[in-house]
Amino acid sequence: MTTETFGAGLKDRDVPAMLRGDTTFTSDLRLPGMLHMEFVRSEHGHARIDGIDTAEAREMPGVVTVVTGEDLAGKLMPMPCIWIPGGVESHFPPHPYGVPGAGPVLAEGVVRFIGEPVAAVVAETAEQARAAARKVAVAYTPLAAVTTPRQALAEGAPQLHDAVPGNLNALWTCGDAERTDAAIAEAEVVVELDLYNQRTINNPMEPRAAVGDYDPVKDEYTLYATTQSPHNHRFLLSALVLGIPFNKLRVIAPPIGGSFGTKGYLYPDMPLVLFLARTLGRPVRWADTREGLMRSTVQGRDHLQHVTLAGTRDGRITALRCTSYANLGAYPSTIGPGVATALMGRSVTGPYAIPNAFCEVHAVFTNTVPLGAQRGSGRAEATTITERVLDLYAKEIGADPAEVRLRNMVPPDRFPYENGLGWTYDSGDYAAALRRALELADYSKLEVLRREARERGKLLGVGIGSFVAICGVGPSTRMQAEGMLGGTWESANIRVHPNGEVAATIGSTSTGQSHTTTFAQIVASELGIDPSAVTIFQADTQKAPYGQGTYGSRSYSVGGPALALAARQVIAKMRTAAAHFLGVPEDQVEYADGTFSVPGREGASKTFQDMAMALWYGWSLPPGMEPTLDVTTFFDPPDFNYPYGSHLAVVEIDETTGELEIVRYVAVHDVGPIGNPLVVNGQFEGSIAHGLGQALMERARYDETGALLTADLTTYAMPRAHDIPRFVMDTTETPSPHNPLGVKGAGEIATVPVTAAVANAVCDALREAGVRHLDMPYTPEKIWRAIREAKG
């Protein structure tokens, strides 16, 4: 790199348009002649469909058509699932092409969750479609429902899918059970804990939307949709759902209003708007409502866990065993089963060197919305259970929780470190990050604060959340072993225009992470030019070469290196040509700040622009060199990357009301070199707030019939400005050896330890009131009840 652009806190170039209201999201698109689609969703958690009467709906003003599952038979294939638990048998009816299945586009005969689409109505206006959808009469016979894994696995439980006896999708394991059990059996101290990591709803501010367009002259489809993975969705939709040639489908992701994992999934609206656009000969738009989102967009977390930690009296952890029941919901979501198993299970040893570890995950179908990713998914659930039981262990042996952590963390000289569950940590100084957090929190003085709080009638609690989070998904062959159907490399293309401007195209898609700015910084740094000369193109399958998408904190740490490698090839080609023009051997040409020069030869130089123009003309190039600068690269990392850090929360609880206040929140992260601190700090702050939402207030609740009791924002709480404290943040920097930039994932990792830190702080505060453990979310009512119950 030749300029300081990488690492500068440049302002996000897309923000001015957002501030003016000029950013066109998918739901803002208006195509000529566009029709509007509305779903009729199941009103039951589990029911047989006895009949669907669409006659009245068809007579409603403006209605163009109504389709049901029967109408799609033989026209649309079922949805595929592309990440099943690896290495174990996974149960669900396969897709007709033999790949794992994920259920029908519209319900066929049975509905299995409260928001499952049963029919779709298309009308001239959105209001007409909504009104007509209410007139579709669906006759149901309600069936007994199960909403928790425990219920679903019980003998004689209602069955969701004939092909899945006992509702068990998979029993997935990692680690060494025998050794771990032996270590537990002979341990000096054994601590156990049951914890429910509650179901959450991601709730990006923009509900999902899709617009389908069809050109009958060219027989070409265009899908505009809120998708994190346009290329991957293009492949899956064309080949596996619509059954049309890959070449006939273009997928465009307009600016996306937040995602946090939810928009990387295939949803029924995507194939449906395309199918209807072709059959009706007009563009078809669908835009979800908040209620629709909450009833149908993938939900997060939902692990019921039991953990056993064994250790010595003097604070050395010797074994960890975790059993988790993951609530997959009614169908396998596109990548949900893999998220719920591998991402959680392999992560439960956290940043600690634990010699014996084992984890099993029972992935179970229930009559709830399908499970998917939520910011920090899998890793947050693992971190919460491990950090909670570690605190109980520290209390058990009368040790300082921070000291126990520092004692057990993987030391810097043991990298690469195999955690015994399948991850190989890349690099880090985990203890240094924790020490920095303790320092920033003034940890040694917190006992004074505790006494002061007590004098004011408040219970003060301190909680630490230390973590390491697998990111940068991932090496393709490794992900194959994990059960993923698809490559996980990333691609980039750089074209240098004759005047020296640069067009860089990436395969990933921003959902609010400022890609057009941060990726331009990588290119500009590598090329030694001003970032204003670089334009980033993304999110359009016709513009970008290929790509896998934005998930698992992979865009910057897998796509970024692809871009850097492309830029390096550009400079290499320019250098060869410059040496040729300057008449010197190539190794005598230096490149810095936009100029190729020959040390010791005054005036012998060529600028970046000179070379751009020279290669554009193609005159007198070195023998065999092709004209122009147009480089495409693919980066498939040798392994994942593992950002890490430590959070520390200090809470005060009012014993009489149960009200909780976060009085101090410290967060230290290590994501390797930071390309743009303004953007990355924004990711950290937003991630912490997201974690606080789960810790303090968020929970998706179902009743025993599978009705979602929290299907709007009046019943599902999300943090508002006054709920979020200020954060004290710092970073350490340890590059990852697994990519040429040394960068590690940063988009979601700060969510990972939040629930752990807050849960530990709350339980620390409540210890004095006689409460050993309390599950999230920590609402005043829940805390108040726990205190009352503990006091008897």
Partner 1 sequence: MRITLTVNGDRVEQDVPPNVLLVDLLRDTCELTGAKVGCDTGQCGTCVVRLGDRSVKSCQMLAVQADGAEVTTVEGLSGDGELTPLQEALWEEHGAQCGFCVPGMVMSLTDLLERDSAPDEQAIRAGIAGNLCRCTGYGAVVRAVQKAVKDKS
Rounded to 10 degrees, the C-alpha dihedral 610/616/620/621 comes to 90
Q: Is 127 in the site for partner 1 (CB under 8 A)?
A: yes
Nearer to partner 1, 640 or 684 (CB): 684
Q: How far is the CB of 256 from partner 1 (least distance, A)?
A: 7
Tokens of 325: 């029941």
Q: Is 31 in the site for partner 1 (CB under 8 A)?
A: no
Q: How far is the CB of 683 from partner 1 (least distance, A)?
A: 8
Q: Which stretch binds partner 1 (CB under 8 A): 449-457, 627-635, 714-722, 736-744?
A: 714-722
| Count of CB atoms situated within 10 Å of the CB of 455 | 7
Tokens of 550: 């934005």
Which residue among 69, 85, 103, 207 contacts partner 1 (CB under 8 A)?
Answer: 207
Nearer to partner 1, 20 or 218 (CB): 20
Contact 150, 304 (CB under 8 A): yes
Nearer to partner 1, 287 or 629 (CB): 287
Q: How far is the CB of 377 from partner 1 (least distance, A)?
A: 15
Provide the angle, in degrees to the nearest 10, between the axes of the packed helices 560-582 and 608-617: 80
Q: Is 568 in the site for partner 1 (CB under 8 A)?
A: no
Q: What gap in Å lies between CA 42 and CA 138, rounded to an integer? A: 9
Which residue among 30, 218, 445, 456 contacts partner 1 (CB under 8 A)?
Answer: 30
Q: What is the amino acid identity at position 332? A: P
Residue 727: which residues within 8 A CB-CB, separation 6 or more? 665, 666, 667, 684, 685, 688
Site string for partner 1, 665-684 (x = CB under 8 A): -------------xx-xx--
Q: Which stretch binds partner 1 (CB under 8 A): 13-21, 136-144, 325-333, 783-791?
A: 13-21
| φ/ψ bin of 278: left (φ > 0), alpha (ψ from -120 to 50), beta (otherwise) | alpha
Tokens of 179: 């050794």
Nearer to partner 1, 420 or 549 (CB): 549
Q: Is 377 in the site for partner 1 (CB under 8 A)?
A: no
Please calculate the CA angle 173-146-322 and round it to the nearest 5 degrees: 25
How many residues bind partner 1 (CB under 8 A)? The answer is 60
| Count of CB atoms situated within 10 Å of the CB of 128 | 20
Which residue among 322, 689, 771, 776 contacts partner 1 (CB under 8 A)?
Answer: 689
Q: What gap in Å lies between CA 54 and CA 71, rounded to an integer? A: 12
Contact 464, 667 (CB under 8 A): no
Tokens of 767: 């210890």
Q: Which stretch binds partner 1 (CB under 8 A): 20-28, 108-116, 397-405, 455-463?
A: 20-28
Helix (H) or strand (E) holding 317: strand 317-329
Site string for partner 1, 240-279 (x = CB under 8 A): ---------------xxxxxx-------------------
Q: Is 456 in the site for partner 1 (CB under 8 A)?
A: no
Distances (CA, A) of 499 to 26, 496, 508, 612: 34, 8, 27, 6
Bridge-based pairing state of the strands 220-225 and 209-215: antiparallel
Strands (E), 483-541: 490-496, 502-506, 534-537
Site string for partner 1, 716-755 (x = CB under 8 A): --xxxxx-x-xx----------------------------
Which residue among 25, 537, 546, 634 contacts partner 1 (CB under 8 A)?
Answer: 25
Q: How far is the CB of 10 from partner 1 (least distance, A)?
A: 10
Tokens of 448: 């004074």
| Count of CB atoms situated within 10 Å of the CB of 308 | 19
Site string for partner 1, 281-320 (x = CB under 8 A): ------x-xxx-----------------------------
Q: Which stretch binds partner 1 (CB under 8 A): 163-171, 404-412, 448-456, 685-693?
A: 685-693
Q: In angstroms, how far is the first alpha carbon of the chain from the final one?
A: 65
Q: How far is the CB of 426 from partner 1 (least distance, A)?
A: 27
Q: How far is the CB of 782 from partner 1 (least distance, A)?
A: 22
| Count of CB atoms situated within 10 Å of the CB of 592 | 10
Which residue among 19, 162, 445, 457 contacts partner 1 (CB under 8 A)?
Answer: 19
Of 493-522, binders to partner 1 (CB under 8 A) are 511-514
Length of the chain: 792
**Footprint of partner 1 on this chain (CB under 8 A)?**
11-12, 14-25, 27-28, 30, 125, 127, 202-207, 255-260, 287, 289-291, 511-514, 678-679, 681-682, 685-690, 712-714, 718-722, 724, 726-727
